[in-house]
Amino acid sequence: MQTADILSDLIAFPTVSADPNRALIDYCAEHLNSCGAVVEVIPDATGGKANLYATIGPQDRPGVLLSGHTDVVPVEGQAWTVLPFAMTKADGKLFGRGTADMKGFVASVLRTASQAGKTELATPLHIALSYDEEIGCVGVRSMIDMLAAAPFRPRFCIVGEPTLMAVATGHKGKTGLKATFTGREGHSALAPMALNAIHLAADMIGAIRTIQARIVASYPKDPDYDVPYTTLHVGRINGGVALNIVPNHCTFAFEIRNLAQDDPEALLQELALAAEEILAPIQPDFPEAAIKIEVTNTYPPLDTARDAEVVSFVKSLTGANGTNKVAFGTEGGLFDQRLGVPTVICGPGSMAQGHKPDEFISLDQLAQCDTMLDALLDRLRTGI
């Protein structure tokens, strides 16, 4: 099968993160088994979702890992002009949810597995397919745990997120957080006699913005990023019951996206101190007042050196001269930091198309990815 044909099959599985991906994983497992791969499916507790890890070639040495996620973001509320879960071809492009992010790469990997199964490899090809990447690189962690206990870990990892086939060496880390505020309810006509939890939240948002301004003004920058500094962002706020009730409860969700040289734990300590300063003048009159900040999810940054062996290796496959860094997070930081596997990001398509209606990938980008993976197979045949 050609890459586009496999991609058509993959798009037909509506693997939104909230839903199971097992049917797609079973499809991939069947394909890889037919290529002679040693396949391990790692289900979650429900059995409805799973990771997949496969090896083609010798089992007694480390190889090159191709990593991709199988989940996609929702399509609800988006104005699609084509069916999102049925691939449409037009004007040299393939449309459908996940074409760019990142089933196009997965399709190219499966096509390459078919080629690998027909030849003898001196260095193994490893394939990792995960679930729930889109909600914070959640699913891959059980596979990371499995690999941590394995006798051999991959020598290199290529995460195939869309980079227009450029070699990317880094992305920021992310810490997802929830802030909960407790005040005292009351009638809005007597608002000053109560404690408005939404106002507490607003004060905390002000503190977050102050920290952000200081980061912009005085922290070191990394010009390889579109936004060259660590960012703090409040994305959702909930509070209040009725306009004439002073709310006693409010929450908001926020995040830190940190450069590799910035410590998110230090920023969390700053946020905790800011919360104490907000509460200090209030608690004598409102002892129940509280601000609770908790981490909901985290993944580390990727910061591979430009002169690392994995970088020169992948550049030799693509013909690239330079490198860049990507704004979005990937599972690459987990492979690098939790397993010590040197990692880069390189895949077909553009994230500018991801998460949007009428998502697409060009046939030219898929062809470039196939060419890179063909070059990889040539190297694996002779050994690296």
For the CA atoms of 22, 28, 34, 38, the dihedral, rounded to the nearest 10 degrees, stands at -80
> Of 71, 101, 161, 203, which residue is the catalytic one?
71
Q: Where in the chain is the domain with CATH 3.40.630.10?
A: 3-170+301-382
Please, is 107 exposed, middle or buried when counting C-beta atoms within 10 Å of its C-beta (0-12, 13-18, 19+)? buried
User: With respect to CATH, is domain 3-170+301-382 assigned 1.10.10.10?
Assistant: no
Task: Decide: 303 and 330 in contact? Cβ < 8 Å.
Answer: no
At 297, list the tokens.
């999810």
Q: Are 254 and 208 in contact (CB under 8 A)?
A: yes
Nearest to 178 by CA among 298, 289, 285: 298
Note whether 201 and 218 are within 8 A (CB).
Answer: no
Residue 133 a catalytic site member = yes
Write out residues in the chain with pLDDT < 70, as ranges: none
pLDDT of residue 330: 97
Which of 132, 133, 134, 336 is catalytic? The answer is: 133
pLDDT tens track for 114-131: 999 999 999 999 999 999
Strands 64-69 and 156-159: parallel
Active site residue 331: no
**What would the two tokens of residue 281 be?**
């003048």
What digits encode the pLDDT tens for the residues 173-190?
999 999 999 999 999 999
Cα 320 to Cα 89, 164, 224, distances in angstroms: 28, 11, 16
Q: What is the pTM of this model?
A: 0.94
Q: Where are the CATH 3.30.70.360 domain residues in the chain?
A: 173-299
Rounded Cα distance between 7 and 16, Å, is: 16
Pair of tokens at residue 158? 């290529």
CA distance 59 to 40: 13
Half-sphere exposure of 8 (CA within 13 A, CB side): 10
Query: What pLDDT is stored for residue 1 in this prediction?
Result: 85
**CATH (one of 3.40.50.2300, 3.40.50.1360, 3.30.70.360, 3.40.50.720) for 173-299:** 3.30.70.360
